[in-house]
Every structure is written in C-alpha cells, then in structure tokens.
C-alpha cells in the first residue's frame, strides 16, 4: 500500500479534523499518523498527515481539500521527497563536510546540486565528492553584483533549499525574497544571545557557562528568522575563545544537520516568525 | 466553552481517526488537540483527544464510542482531573519533600491523601504539611502481614496512584496486582543498567561517565515495568559512591516529578511492557 | 588527620605552584587535591587546595603565604564551612521551598538565618520550617527606605550570602556594594538572552527552542553580574508563555540550588565579570 | 617559550605535589596547568602537568622523576603530539567519515595511516581521502588467520592507537594484548545496558526513553573495558528500531570523536577498569 503525505495550512475553524478525516476517508485514505496544531495568535491551523491507500486521484483530493478548507488555505500532497540543495560556504569545512558525506551515502534526505563559495578553498574537498564548486568572490564587487552571480548559479541548479553552511556574508532582502522560507542558516550562538559578529568572543567576554548554535530560516532581518533547532554545550572558565570556537563547531554541525533533516522531511511549518515542528 | 478530555484504547483498524472525529462532530465536540499512536506489535490504537463543546451527553458519547470501536476497546471521558495519591517512603526525604511541597501549593496535579513509611523518621516532616503519616514497620512480620497493613491504609485512602518515593521494600505480585498500572516507582539508575540493589555502587565500580534515574510503573518483575521517564547526569572519576548518591538524588526527584505530572495529566498509556506518552 | 582548605588569589608569577607546595610541605601539610587557574587577561592566579595534616599553626601559615605571594594576594584558610544565609523572596515558592527543605535536612551547605519578603504570602510556609519571616513591603516607600529595612534585618542576621530566590525588586548599587560578591540571584532566562522583565514572554515571542535559567552574582548592573550556573530545557511550538513559566520553574530551582552548592563549598572565585569554578 | 607536557603515574605518597613541583622548578620549568588525582582503591597517583620553559635536559628530568617517585612509577615527557591511527571498519560509514574528514583538515589530533575493513565497501570512500584501504575478509578463515592479517597491516603501519569505527568483529585476547590500552571501540549503547549484539533492538523491546553510545578501551572482556565517553539522546514510543539506529549513529559519531580527542591529547589515564580524564 502506498504512503501519502499531506500538508495542510489554513485559517482555523471548528471541526477541521472531522472535515479533513472525512474527505480522506472518502478518497479511500487511511490516516496512519496525524499531527496538527493551531497557532491561536495567527488563527491558523497546521497539519501533517500520513496516510495509506492508493485508490484515489491526487488532483481530486487536492481540489476537494483546497476548496473545502477555510481560506486562505494551502494544501500540499506528496511533496518532492528528495529536495534539491544548494550549499553556500566561506572557508570553514565542518558543516559542508557533514552535508557532502550524507549526500554521498544518501542519508541527507536531499541531493546537493552544487556548492558555491566566496573563497575557493573548499573546492578540492567538494570536488572529491563529484559536486560542482562555484567560486564567486565578493571582492571588488557591489553586493548586488555578488548576489547576481549567486542567483545565476541558483537559477541553473533550481534548488528547493539553499543552505548557508557557515557562509559569512549577509544576504540582501532582495536575495532572500526570491527564496522565501527556503534559505537555512546556521548561526554560531544561542539566539537571541550574541547576534551579529564574533558570538564566541562575545560569549567569552560575558563569561557564559553554555554556548550554543541555532539553525533558522533566513529573513531580511539578520539573525531574526524563524528558529528551527537550537542546542547548547557546557563550557567553563578554562575555555578561551578558540576552545569555544572548536567546541562550537561540533554543535553547529549537529544542529544544522538536524534542522535539514526536519525540513527535508516536511516536518517544519513557518508561522510568522516562528516554526511549528511535527517531530 | 467546556474542555472535554477523551482517552481511547482499542484494536487498530483502518479509518479510526475518521470514525472517531465523526462521532465527536455528531456530539457537537470540536477537536482542539489530538494525539494518536498505533502499537503495531500489539495491533492496538491509542488516542488522547482534547475537545471543546458542552452540548452533549457524556453517557451517550461513551456508549457510541465504546460500542462503535473495534473490540476490545477502552474509552474514558473526562477522567478525574485531580488524582488521589498515596506515598510510600523509607528514610530518604528528597522525593517526598518534592511531592509534599507541590501538593501544598497545588501544583502536583493530584492530592496526597496519606504517606506511609516502614520507618517513622519522615513523620515530623510529613506532618508539617498536615498530611497523615502511617508508620508500618516491616520488622518481625511476614511480607504478607506487612503488605496487609499497607493495603488497609490504601483501602481507607482509596488512591488513584501509589507513589514509591524511595520506598526500599519490594512489593509482592499480589500487592501489585491490586493496583495494576497505578504504582509508580523511582529507580536510582538508568534501567536496564544496574537493576537491583546499590546501583550507585555498581555504577562506581563499572566506571560509567553518566548516572541516571528511571521512573516506571511497577509490575511483578522487579525493575522491569513500563518506563515513564529517564534522565541522566554526567559524572567523572572524581565521583565516589557518596558523590554519586548525592548527585543522583537531584535527578531522581526531577524524574519522579516529571513522571507524576505526565501520568496525572492522563498523557501516559501502557502497552505491554512499554509506555506511550503524549507530551 | 584534619582536612585543611586553602583559597589563594594573587598576581600571577612564574613558580607559584612550587612556591605554595613548598610552603605547605614546610607546615607538614600534604596536598590531597589542588585546582588552579590563571586568568591571563587579569594576570591573576587562583587556587583551591585541600590538604591533610594537623601539625601546623594556621596564623603562621597564613602570614607566610600572605606575605610570600606576589601582591596583591588574598589568602583564606579554612573558611567557615557552614555559611549563614538570608533569603529574599516575593511571591513564588519553588526556590524558597527547595532552600528550606535542604536547610531542614542539613544538605544546603549552609544555614538559613531568615527570610524576608516584599509580600507576606510565603510567611506560613517559611514558618513551618521554624525560620523567621520578615515582611517588608516596598509599597509607599522610596527604594532607599525599603532597602534600609532590609539592611537592618540583614544586619541582625549577619549573612555570609544573600540569596534572591525569585525576589522581583531591583537592588540599588548602594545595597549591592554592602554585600559585594555575596548576593546570588536566579534569573529566569539564559543570559544574556532576554535580560530584564518577562523573559518567558520574550522567549515565546521569539520562538526559541530552548529556555534556560542563570544563577549569577549580583552587581550594580542588572543581569550583568558574574554567571555561576546556567542550564536549559527544550521547548517547542506547543509551549505557550504559561507552559514556559511552569517548565522554567523546574530549571530555575535546579540552577539556583547548584550555584549555592558550589559557592557554599568555596569552589567559586570571581575574576572581573566572570567566575572560575573548581568543580 | 616552549611548552612541555609531563604525564606521571606512580604509587601514592604524602608530599608528591611538593616533590614534583620542586623537581620541575629545579629544571627551570614553570607549571602553567596541573591536574592530579589519587585513585585510593588502587593507591595510585596520576598527574598531567603543562609547563613552560626550555632550559632543561629532557633526559635528566626524566631520570630524576622516574627514580625519585614512589615505585612503580611511569613518567612520560612530551609524548608524541600527533598519534598514528589505524582504523578498523565493517560496513557503516558514519564514524569513518568523521575520522577521515578531521584527518584531512588536521583537526583529528592524529594522522590516519590506514583503514582496514572486513568488507570492501568503504574502500572507494577511504581512497577519496588518499588513505590506503586494506580489505581483509573474515570469511573462510579462522579468527587467528583473520587477525594475523590485521596484525601484519598494523605492523607496517605502527599505529599508536587502533580505532574500531563500527568494526563488527570481536577481537581475541591475543590481539588485544598486543595493543593493550591502545584500542578504542564505540559501542552503540549506554554500557553496561545492552551489552552484546543488537543493542537498539534490545532498547526498543525494553521501551527505554533514552539511548546512548559508549567509547571505551578494548580489553579481553567484551564491552567491559574502561569507559572514556558516554552520551545519550532521548527517544520515545514513536521510535522503532530503525529510527533508533539512525538517531544512534549521530551520537556514536560524536562520542567516538570526543573520546579520540581526549586520548590523543593525552588526557586519559587508565586505572584498573576505569579511566581518569583530565578535561
């Protein structure tokens, strides 16, 4: 029996679960797992439904749900199970390596179509994995020129998601708008603590006892986008900035990896500046 | 609008969510939160449903669900929101204190009806909280005699749950059977590591780098019942047995407290030797 | 054989460990555990030394160390092992209860001499434990008048440490100066995230995936003092503000308790705006 | 100024810190960081000392310490800072990939000299990193024959440490004896829970709420060697065996990586069946 995944986002209303489950039953679909949540502030209903059954028309089901649900509604049936991924990097290897290794062994939940870097130093490593590497320096260019080149590469790669794997340039609102809700960044602090530059130095100077990392969707406000995953590790007075950086890399890698997994499995919904995650 | 809580446990079958949500809609109930799970090994379906709506007959709803669901089925509508609790102790105060303080400030999610101890040492503390303390020594008695006294006290207290808050006697299968699925124990190790006596000594001798605690339902097999909550804390070579005991008390208290909260909010189902927890 | 605890803080210099261990050997003291750290930014050396041996003069040892170490130096031999504690509260019971229970069972590492509250509501609970409760309202008073009353109570209690156990008033620099390095606060966020008021509301609105608590020494800058302990717990989209508050209380209590333990065992040194902790 | 690392292990005795620090001072060495521990059960003293100073003879210092310390004593001055590593694998890639990536970017704290596998499937991946891969099948061979081949490869690689990166064969006591205290294994459970085969299946059947991984030195008793690092991750009733396996891989990789880091930085001492770790 085939598995069908249905994602629903619509205005909240009394009786939605009954409505949806009746529609699914009418299409010979049996709910095997269902998660739903109402964001009361936004008056929005979100659901992720796994069904079994293959005796139904996807178009009919889509039309029935899309038109029957309180508007505005957004229905997705069987989203692409293997997302296309573009990775942006600067010089640090640890997140990129994690992505490329999983890509190679087919455990990423997506396929990397290309890597682009504003330095050329990660090219040899990337090419070991037979992934195209595009070197796009930001030097002697306006931000607009720099991003135009990146967008051209993205245009030929057609990624579902762009992953900022320690990409140390700030993207313009114009760039971000073109991939709204589809750019994921790893920030090397426990947001909202230590936004901006040198978070480990800030952490060292404040004398914190934990450091963290945050994977979030990128919006036009730096470090302000919807948070997907956060984790921390303990530190103590013996940690200088460089020890924090070193320990931080481990947690950055793990956090970004977990965020990608959740997003690529269509478990993450965005509502306003937050995420709903059906783990 | 009133809140209604419905717990369902029945044989699994295609279309259960649709069936249940239709029944609820017919009784003017709107699902506000629903969690369900199928234990495939046991072929059992479990659901915890929160609804709003007050224009319905509880008896009618119960009968419709109980008779309409695949058998054997067990339906509970609006379980007692404030469980009655009996606490058994020996000499250690930390779990008992946590329970009595929460009881006093009405954050336990239940009410303590009495405390019974096989030593008398926690009486003064218990009585500070105006809770009756029953001293039932195990000395110079058969296990049967000892338990008969406890059962008499339980009989007059009529607890929904019996909490073994560091109660260091092993209860007989006969005792356990009378409160099946309703006795919660805190074991001072990360089960199934270090079952039985002196788990911290065992942990010290094995040189583990983490110690833990496990809250579980009591069955007739010692330390083998369904696990509710487990947590750990790191230790290192500087921890002797007494440091482990001290650190362990903190985690024991937190684990038991969390387990009680989950159980008292009717979030925990037992399936075979495991728990399903709708957090 | 007696145990001797020696705390040293002085200007850093080559050969300090050799110097100190020679002095101790000359006084027939055998080092059983030694922890030291150099804060290079501040050019300061810190050590906590446990020794065995009882055939020495404490005054002579003190004089030899104090005069022999690079200046400025601060030497403490056998600090008071049972600190005197004054607790300030407002209305929340959870941290106070943790302190009073440990105090009663002699596991606090100190003795509570009194509790003062700017509301009277925790009096009955405090008095169950035979601890004096002083009600000092802040209403219709200047901050100076309010603090004068608190200082009078402190004056008769002579506390080694003042614990702000969810005390919701900000102390003036004048108050803080009188107990410099001896006031410990529990802040209900992971500092420096969410300083100031309503951190859980801030956390809810930011959509964080972890919430935390921070125990720190109080300085004249609000929420800016040296951090002693921080811990976090995961949250998700189902947590409203009140669920965060509830979950947060558990972590606040645990964090404050751990911080007190470390401070009362003389394991915490302050250097600038940070702590050095010899766990 | 040069850094000197000194490792000491000897019979415990009064005055050892004074003795050692005097010897170091006599050799113009300044202690910058010192950690020591006495295993009272074994009556052994362990120390890891970092010094600055370069005006001394390593041989003289060694002789003075080795002969001056209570016997039996073991002194190591400036151990090889870059360990030689041989990696044994079966079919799983995740731990190997972590090692090879760190090796490539010089953040492993050692250099991989070769990889050997009882299947050939990880050869292409290994060779991407220009590391020799030796395929040594265990099929149609006695354990003795199989291990003889591995020992020949080890003989030409001369590793300081052999890492069992998900190597699914049990090594004989004879093999282990040749690399006593120098073979590190990653076991996919929280030892001593779930020793032996299929720990995730065991964990699933027991219904635990946490799964873990353990890095330990290999001794002739399966899964009984000194533990270096343990960590856990929470699981719940929705985790089948395959989800546990998947989640477990993340923690296995992290735990093995941390254990290697600690061992390669000479922070780990073995005492009986335990480790002392100066983090």
Collect all residues of chain D within an 8 Å Cβ-Cβ radius of residue B209. 227-230
Looking at the fold, whether C118 and C245 belong to one and the same domain comes out as yes
Among chain B residues, the shortest Cα distance to D190 is held by B193
Query: Residue A53: closest CA among chain B residues belongs to which residue?
Result: B14
Residues D223-255 as b or e (16 or more Cβ within 10 Å = b): bebbbbbbbbeebbbebeeeebbebbbbbbbbb
Q: Beta strand D161-164 with A268-271: parallel, antiparallel or unpaired?
A: unpaired
Q: Based on the fold, state whether residues A62 and A190 are members of the same structural domain.
A: no
Select the residue of D210, D230, D276 nearest B208 (Cβ to Cβ). Answer: D230
Judgement on whether residues D17 and D140 belong to the same structural domain of the protein: no
Q: What pLDDT does B1 receive?
A: 53
B15 in contact with A at a CB cutoff of 8 Å?
A: yes
Q: D-chain residues within 8 Å CB-CB of C17? A: 17, 21, 31, 34
C272 & C154 share domain: yes
Which of A89, A105, A249, A259 should we substitute to test contact with D (largest number of D Cβ atoms within 10 Å)?
A: A105
Nearest by CB to residue D229, choosing from B37, B209, B228, is B209
Q: Which of the two residues, B192 and B146, has the higher pLDDT score?
A: B146
D94 and D211 within one domain: yes
What string of DSSP letters covers chain C?
Answer: --EEEEEEEEE--TTHHHHHHHHHHHTT-EEEEEEEEEETTTTEEEEEEEEE---S-HHHHHHHHHHHSPSSEEEEES--SSEEEEEEESS--HHHHHHHHHHHTT-SSEEEEEEEESSSTTHHHHHHTT--EEE---TTS-HHHHHHHHHHHHHHH--SEEEESS--SPPPHHHHHHTTT-EEEEESS-TTTT-SS-HHHHHHHHT-SEEEEEEEE--SSTT-SPEEEEEEEE--TT--HHHHHHHHHHHHHHHHHHHHHHHHTT-EEEETTEEEE--
> Cβ contact (<8 Å) for B17 and A22?
no
pLDDT band at A1 (very low <50, low <70, confident <90, very high): low
Residue A177 has pLDDT above 60, yes or no: yes
Q: Which residues in B lie closer than 8 A to residue D237 (C-beta atoms)?
A: 37, 39, 271, 274-277
> Chain C: nearest CA to D182, how far in angstroms?
28
Residues of chain D with C-beta less than 8 angstroms from the C-beta of A99: none
Q: Which two tokens stand for residue B54?
A: 């007050």
pLDDT along chain C (279 residues), means of 10: 90 89 89 90 94 89 96 96 96 98 96 98 98 97 97 96 96 95 94 84 93 95 90 94 94 97 97 95
Q: Are residues B177 and B160 in the same domain?
A: yes
CA A276 to CA A194: how far, in whole Å?
A: 24
Given an 8 Å threshold on Cβ–Cβ distance, is D210 in contact with B226?
no
Contact C101 B97 (CB under 8 A): yes
What number is the ipTM of this complex? 0.94
Q: Are residues A18 and B36, on separate chains, in Cβ contact within 8 Å?
A: no
Q: Considering only alpha carbons, which residue of chain A is nearest residue D97?
A: A101
Query: Do B50 and B33 form a contact (C-beta atoms < 8 A)?
Result: yes
Residue range B116-162, pLDDT digits in tens: 999 999 999 999 999 999 999 999 999 999 999 999 999 999 999 99
What are the pLDDT digits (tens) for A231-268?
999 999 999 999 999 999 999 999 999 999 999 999 99
Mean pLDDT value across residues B82-110: 97
3-state secondary structure of D197: coil
Task: Return all residues near D177 (Cβ < 8 A) that are at least 6 apart.
Answer: D220
Q: Is A201 at the interface with chain D, CB within 8 A?
A: no
A166: nearest Cα among A233, A231, A88: A88
D105 contacts in chain A (CB < 8 Å): 93, 97
- As to burial, measured by CB atoms within 10 angstroms (0-12 exposed, 13-18 middle, 19+ buried), residue A68 is middle
Rounded distance, CA B20 to CA A235, Å? 50
Tell me: do A92 and A117 sit in the same domain: yes
Task: Give yes or no for residue D222 having a pLDDT over 80.
Answer: no
pLDDT reported for residue B252: 97
What are the CA-CA distances from residue B81 to residues B3, B75, B108, B111 (Å)?
A: 12, 16, 11, 10
pLDDT in tens, A80-122: 989 999 999 999 999 999 999 999 999 999 999 999 999 999 9
Phi, psi of B78 (to 5 degrees): 50, 65
CA distance B19 to chain D (A): 23
Chains contacting B (3 or more CB pairs within 8 Å): A, C, D
pLDDT at C161: 98
- Chain A positions touching D254 (Cβ under 8 A) are 250, 254
A154 and A50 housed in the same domain: no
Residue showing tokens 């309180």: A70
- The pLDDT, as a whole number, for residue A176 is 96
Q: Is C62 on the interface with B (CB under 8 A)?
A: no
Residue B12: its chain A contacts at CB < 8 A? Answer: none
| Stretch D198-213: mean pLDDT | 92
CATH number of residue C181's parent domain = 3.40.50.170
Here the tokens at position B234 are 């790191």
Q: Is A243 on the interface with D (CB under 8 A)?
A: no
Same domain for D104 and D7, yes or no, is no
Q: Which residues are within 8 A (CB) of B213 and not within 5 positions of it... i.e. 6 or more apart?
A: B186, B187, B188, B189, B190, B230, B231, B248, B251, B252, B254, B255, B256
Domain boundary among A24, A59, A77: A77
Nearest to B236 among D226, D273, D277 (CB): D277
Quote the number of domains for chain A.
Answer: 2
Residue of A nearest to D98 (CA): A98
Catalytic member of A98, A103, A223, A266: A223
Residues of B labelled catalytic: 223
Q: Which residues of D touch B236 (CB under 8 A)?
A: 277, 279
Tens-place pLDDT, residues C35-67: 999 998 999 999 999 998 878 899 999 999 999
CB D230 to CB B210 under 8 A?
yes
* Burial grade of C11 (CB within 10 A; 0-12, 13-18, 19 or more): middle
A123 contacts in D (CB within 8 Å)? Answer: none
Question: Do residues B104 and B63 share a domain?
Answer: no
Q: At residue A222, does pLDDT exceed 80?
A: no
* Chain A, nearest residue to C225 by Cα: A206
The domain that holds A68 is classified in CATH as: 3.30.70.260
Q: What is the mean pLDDT of chain A?
A: 94
Chain A CB within 8 Å of residue D232 CB: no
- pLDDT classification of D58: cutoffs 50, 70, 90: very high
Tokens found for residue A16: 């939605």
Query: Is the CB of B263 inside 8 Å of chain D's CB atoms?
Result: no
B145 and B200 fall within a common domain:
yes
Chains that touch C (3 or more CB pairs under 8 A): A, B, D
Last residue of a domain, one of B77, B107, B137: B77
Contact B228 D208 (CB under 8 A): no
Whether A14 sits inside 8 A of B24 (CB atoms) is: no
Output the average pLDDT for chain D. 94
Q: Could you give the CA distance from residue A222 to residue D17 in angstroms, rounded to a whole number?
A: 52
Could you tell me if A194 lies within 8 Å of chain C, comparing CB atoms?
Answer: yes
Residue A279 reports pLDDT greater than 70: yes
- Quick one: pLDDT at residue C1? 53
Mean pLDDT of chain B: 94
User: B136: domain range?
Assistant: 83-277
Q: How far is D72 from chain C (nearest CA, A)?
A: 20
At B95, list the tokens: 């779990």
Looking up tokens 């008033």 gives C169
- Residue B230: what pLDDT? 96
pLDDT at B191: 83
pLDDT of residue B222: 73
Q: Is A252 exposed, middle or buried (0-12, 13-18, 19+ CB in 10 A)?
A: buried
Chain A, chain D: beta-carbon pairs less than 8 Å apart: 23
Q: How far is CA D81 from the centre of its chain?
A: 14
Mean pLDDT score, A34-48: 93
Domain termination residue (choose one: B46, B77, B108): B77
Cis peptide bond upstream of C192, omega within 30 = yes
Q: Are residues D148 and D13 in the same domain?
A: no
Instruction: Please give the distance of CA B188 from its chain centroid, rounded to a whole number.
Output: 16
């Amino acid at each position: 029996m085939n598995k069908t995944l249905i994602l629903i986002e619509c205005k909240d209303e009394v009786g939605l679960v009954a409505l949806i489950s009746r529609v699914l039953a009418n299409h010979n679909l049996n709910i095997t797992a269902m998660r739903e949540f109402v964001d009361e502030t936004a008056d929005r209903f979100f659901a992720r439904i796994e069904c079994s059954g293959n005796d139904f028309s996807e178009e009919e089901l889509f039309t029935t749900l899309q038109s029957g649900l309180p508007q505005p509604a957004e229905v997705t049936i069987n989203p692409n199970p293997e997302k296309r991924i573009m990775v942006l990097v600067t010089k640090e290897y640890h997140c990129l390596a994690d992505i490329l290794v999983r890509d190679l062994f087919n455990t990423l939940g997506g396929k990397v179509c290309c890597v682009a870097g504003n330095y050329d130093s990660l090219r040899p490593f990337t090419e070991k994995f037979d992934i195209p590497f595009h070197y796009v320096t930001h030097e002697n260019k306006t931000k607009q020129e720099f991003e135009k080149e990146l967008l051209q590469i993205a245009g030929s790669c057609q990624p579902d998601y762009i992953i900022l794997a320690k990409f140390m340039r700030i993207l313009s609102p114009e760039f971000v708008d073109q991939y709204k809700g589809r750019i994921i960044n790893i920030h090397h602090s426990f947001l909202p603590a230590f936004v901006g530059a040198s978070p480990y130095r800030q952490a060292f100077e404040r004398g914190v006892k934990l450091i963290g990392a945050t994977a979030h969707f990128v919006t036009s406000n730096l470090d302000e986008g919807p948070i997907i995953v956060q984790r921390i590790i303990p530190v103590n007075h013996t940690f200088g900035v460089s020890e924090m950086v070193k320990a931080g890399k481990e947690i950055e890698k793990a956090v970004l990896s977990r965020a990608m997994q959740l997003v690529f499995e269509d478990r993450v919904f965005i509502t306003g500046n937050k995420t709903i995650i059906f783990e």
